[in-house]
Homo-oligomer: A and B are copies of this chain.
Amino acid sequence: MTLLENTSTPPDPVTEDRSMAIRETLRNAIIDRRLAPGTKLSEAEVGALFDVSRTVARAALQMLTFEGLVKTERNRGAFVSHPTPEEARQIFASRRLIEPGIVAAASERITPDDIARFREQLIEEERHINERGPAARRAEIKASGDFHLMLASVAGNAILQRFMDELVARSSLVIALYGRSGVSSCGHSEHFAILDLIERGDAKRAADLMLHHIDHIEADLDLQPKQGVALKDVLATG
């Protein structure tokens, strides 16, 4: 299992914070489903994988816990989060509140340069959609989320950006668990349409479309509260 992606920079930046780097790597692995919900992340294992002590691994896991990507149970350990349907609804409810505002802010601040980068990103996204295989699916999910994160970045509010980081990451988990069609490909065309409206300066319509877009993503989910006595949830995924 190649969890460690190209660490790329072992020499220069002196690894300015190892637990942060581990967090990022694990985060990406969770977001694009290389680590399935429910997977146990033991401190020793993580430490061994990244060649650090349990102390550092533990710090990384604690950060992920705060982001809601990992759930730790006292004296039992850390596991990749397995959001319930209710949590899923709350995640999307939160996004419905925040993202229209982000679109509005982004509309006011976006530069032609930004727009060029967005178009590039969307073309990249399209490329993944047309490819086959699980790797392409992962890249597609990641790219789809990145569009929303780029908007948050342009909006220029660091706090909202962090909230969105968390919400988008957790949305990936939810889609992995409850998505019907993997990723609704209609989502991609909506990204294009939103960008167009923003470029045209029609912030109101762009925000409205974003709202619909989120609705569409959520509509693609199957959020039936698992019947039965909910015997540990995880049992279903094994």
Considering only CB atoms, which chain B residue lies closest to A160 in the complex? B94
Chain A window 74-117, contacts with chain B (Cβ cutoff 8 Å), 1 for yes, 0 for no: 10000000000001001101101110010001000000000000
Separation in Å of the A43 CB from the closest CB of chain B?
13
Q: Which of A59-67, A126-134, A190-198 contacts B (4 or more CB under 8 A)?
A: A59-67
Q: A59-B62, A62-B59, A66-B66 given as contacts; is B74 within 8 A of A163 (CB)?
A: no
Contact among B74, B90, B159, B167 with A90 in the assembled complex (CB-CB below 8 Å):
B159
Contact among B87, B90, B157 with A94 in the assembled complex (CB-CB below 8 Å):
B157
Kindly identify, within residues 157 to 201 of chain A, every residue whose CB is under 8 Å from any CB belonging to chain B: 157-160, 163, 167
Contact A97 B94 (CB under 8 A): no
Contact B163 A90 (CB under 8 A): no
A: which residues have CB within 8 A of B? 16-17, 55, 59, 62-63, 66, 68, 74, 87, 90-91, 93-94, 96-98, 101, 105, 157-160, 163, 167
